[in-house]
């Protein structure tokens, strides 16, 4: 018979899910082979930890596109194109969601081992209307309230002990009788009468709905134990005994004596078997006391005994916050996308003056619009390996590739302005396109004015950022001022 504690269902389920997840990602990493794997590795940015989960996520994404027709469309696609410059819908879909799906998969695996406990304790005020302290009810406890009292301008820290509501004499007499009636009807437990007691007694320590407490004085024979169980295993015949219930409320007490007849315990076959096992174990202890190992009984009365060591199951996991964490990761990934788009726009606004000035410089040097455009792209490609990526020049590269593939020059500039999504670039491209279509000798003058406006706008933006930084520093400065005042006041009162 195996004696062990079964593991919690939640822990087992979490462990199984973890093994299935890990096995799935290991299998998915070997599933993609040949050209499909080469194409898949292009969608995983760099050699990051995303590779651990990338192919498992890719399997789901591929199934979603193939069987459910999941695609990036509309505003979502246009927004994503701003971050993944020059890539088509398919490349954007897999590149972006492989990265997000890898993060989400990692969080799911971590959540399978997460245990979280949180609590906030809120203490309510005790003093009501300035003079009243509420007592606990008759079942409550005595409490101590710390107060600050003032008299004639002098303050003093005081502690007031507030007792719970007390029974009056009439109520106490009724409560003692109620307690006796309750004990008289409940102390036998599952026994039918005090003349035939064989099951454990119910020795109540408190009366429900009453502040009266009960203490028990047991017989010297030890037949009745403190918890109400009976020591009648070794009895050969019935035995008379008595117990006394002592009812207490404050300093008032009353007693009630209860007599009963305890019968020998009727043992089941299993109980007899375990008693025999205990005797075999005691014998084995004595016989092997000088040996290195203790051999446990293998059989009792012809029945085989099996043993299993009890172990603490560390896989009992609370999953409440796990689902919250997974949802939070999804929201954070979406927020990260929006933040990256905002950073992109901020960067493109900051790059606009240099972009426009360099373009005007090249036009003024006699280069054509297309030549100036291609020259800027070439210069960026030469420095791209050592400098960080600039979205404006990445978009210009896309325009160069479009013109090389046969797209008209004016159309390529229009799409460039549309992809940036910023008014400055749209206005700049509009001037270029109008010059290409209608011709204008004032293009260079107009672009120079545009450069002056761009630098003026950047100066105003830098000024606004400086004012914003000053506003953010206002709160720390106020806190420092409060701390200085507190130190001065403390020193002043301490020396009084």
Kindly report the backbone phi and psi dihedral angles of residue 87, in degrees, each rounded to the nearest multiple of 5, phi listed first.
-100, 150
Per residue in 176-212, pLDDT tens?
A: 888 888 988 888 888 888 888 888 888 888 888 888 8
CA 336-340-345 angle, to 5 degrees, is 150
CA 402-407-410 angle, to 5 degrees, is 100
Of 262, 265, 246, the C-alpha closest to 194 is 262
Pick 241 or 80 by higher pLDDT: 241
For residue 125, pLDDT over 60 is answered with no
For residue 286, pLDDT over 70 is answered with yes
Which has the minimum average pLDDT: 35-39, 173-177, 327-331, 447-451? 35-39
Produce one character per residue of 352-387: b if its CB has 16 or more CB atoms within 10 Å, e if not.
Answer: bbebbbebbebbeeeeebbebbbbbbeebeeeeeee
Per residue in 366-407, pLDDT tens?
A: 888 889 889 988 888 888 777 788 888 888 898 999 899 989
What's the Cα-to-Cα distance from 361 to each of 233, 416, 425, rounded to whole Å? 107, 20, 17
Evaluate if pTM is beyond 0.75. Answer: no
Helix (H) or strand (E) holding 158: strand 154-162
**pLDDT of amino acid 46:** 55
For residue 95, pLDDT over 60 is answered with yes
In whole angstroms, give the CA distance from residue 257 to residue 340. 81
Give mean pLDDT, residues 253-277. Answer: 81
Give mean pLDDT, residues 326-351. Answer: 85
For residue 9, pLDDT over 60 is answered with no
Residue 466: CA count within 13 A, CB half-sphere: 6
Give mean pLDDT, residues 18-34. Answer: 72
pLDDT tier, 120 (very low <50, low <70, confident <90, very high otherwise): very low
**pLDDT of amino acid 109:** 74
pLDDT tier, 41 (very low <50, low <70, confident <90, very high otherwise): low
Beta strands in 117-153 (DSSP E): 127-128, 132-133, 143-151
Residue 425: CA count within 13 A, CB half-sphere: 24
**pLDDT of amino acid 315:** 47
Of 377, 314, 355, the C-alpha closest to 451 is 355
CA 11-13-17 angle, to 5 degrees, is 115
| Residue reference for tokens 């375990």 | 274
Cβ-Cβ contacts under 8 Å for 298 (sequence gap 6 or more): 304, 305
CA 406-409-411 angle, to 5 degrees, is 90
DSSP 259: E
Pick 154 or 119 by higher pLDDT: 154
Which has the minimum average pLDDT: 336-340, 455-459, 461-465? 461-465
What's the Cα-to-Cα distance from 189 to each of 227, 228, 445, rounded to whole Å? 12, 9, 104
Pick 61 or 401 by higher pLDDT: 401
pLDDT tier, 36 (very low <50, low <70, confident <90, very high otherwise): low
In whole angstroms, give the CA distance from residue 324 to residue 209. 41
Pick 364 or 110 by higher pLDDT: 364
For residues 206 and 271, is the Cβ–Cβ distance under 8 A? Answer: no
Which has the minimum average pLDDT: 51-55, 229-233, 411-415? 51-55
Average pLDDT for the chain? 77
CA 369-349-358 angle, to 5 degrees, is 35
For residue 472, pLDDT over 60 is answered with yes
Of 491, 380, 324, the C-alpha closest to 85 is 380
In whole angstroms, give the CA distance from residue 459 to residue 350. 11
Cβ-Cβ contacts under 8 Å for 245 (sequence gap 6 or more): 180, 183, 187, 214, 215, 216, 255, 256, 257, 258
For residues 162 and 143, is the Cβ–Cβ distance under 8 A? Answer: yes
pLDDT tier, 47 (very low <50, low <70, confident <90, very high otherwise): low
């Amino acid at each position: 018979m195996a004696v062990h504690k079964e593991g919690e269902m939640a822990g087992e389920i979490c462990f199984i899910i973890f093994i299935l997840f890990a096995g799935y990602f290991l299998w998915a990493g070997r599933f993609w082979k040949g050209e499909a794997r080469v194409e898949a590795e292009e969608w995983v940015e760099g050699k990051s930890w995303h590779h651990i989960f990338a192919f498992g996520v890719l399997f789901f994404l591929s199934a979603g596109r193939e069987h459910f027709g999941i695609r990036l469309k509309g505003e979502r696609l246009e927004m994503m194109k701003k971050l993944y410059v020059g890539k088509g819908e398919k490349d954007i879909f897999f590149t972006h969601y492989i990265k997000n799906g890898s993060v989400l998969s990692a969080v799911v695996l971590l959540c399978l081992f997460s245990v979280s406990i949180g609590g906030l304790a809120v203490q309510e005020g005790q003093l009501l209307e300035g003079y009243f302290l509420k007592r606990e009810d008759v079942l409550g406890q005595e409490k101590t309230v710390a107060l600050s009292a003032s008299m004639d301008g002098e303050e003093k820290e005081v502690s007031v002990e507030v007792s719970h509501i007390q029974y009056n004499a009439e109520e106490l007499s009724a409560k003692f009788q109620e307690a006796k009636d309750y004990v008289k009807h409940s102390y036998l437990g599952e026994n039918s009468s005090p003349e035939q007691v064989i099951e454990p007694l119910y020795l109540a320590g408190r009366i429900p709905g009453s502040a009266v407490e009960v203490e028990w004085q047991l017989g010297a024979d030890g037949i009745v134990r403190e918890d109400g169980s009976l020591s009648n295993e070794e009895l050969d015949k019935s035995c008379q005994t008595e117990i006394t219930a002592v009812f207490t409320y404050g300093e008032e007490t009353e007693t009630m004596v209860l007599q009963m007849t305890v019968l020998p315990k009727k043992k089941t076959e299993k109980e007899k078997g375990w008693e025999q096992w205990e005797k075999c174990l005691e014998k084995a202890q004595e016989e092997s006391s000088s040996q290195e190992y203790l051999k446990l009984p293998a059989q009792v009365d012809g029945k085989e005994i099996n043993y299993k060591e009890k172990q603490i199951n560390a896989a009992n996991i609370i999953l409440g916050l796990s689902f919250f964490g997974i949802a939070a990761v999804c929201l954070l990934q979406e927020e990260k996308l929006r933040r990256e788009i905002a950073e992109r726009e901020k960067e493109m606004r900051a790059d606009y003056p240099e972009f426009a000035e360099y373009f005007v410089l090249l036009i003024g040097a006699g280069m054509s619009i297309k030549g100036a455009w291609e020259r800027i792209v070439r210069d960026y490609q030469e420095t791209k390996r050592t400098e960080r990526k600039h979205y404006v020049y990445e978009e210009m590269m896309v325009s160069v590739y479009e013109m090389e593939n046969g797209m008209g020059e004016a159309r390529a500039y229009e799409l460039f302005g549309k992809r940036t999504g910023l008014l400055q670039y749209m206005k700049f491209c509009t001037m270029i396109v109008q010059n290409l279509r209608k011709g204008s000798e004032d293009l260079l003058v107009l672009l120079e004015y545009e450069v002056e406006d761009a630098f003026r706008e950047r100066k105003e933006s830098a000024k606004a950022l400086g004012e914003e930084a000053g506003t953010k520093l206002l709160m720390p400065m106020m806190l420092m001022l409060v701390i200085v005042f507190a130190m001065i006041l403390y020193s002043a009162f301490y020396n009084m």
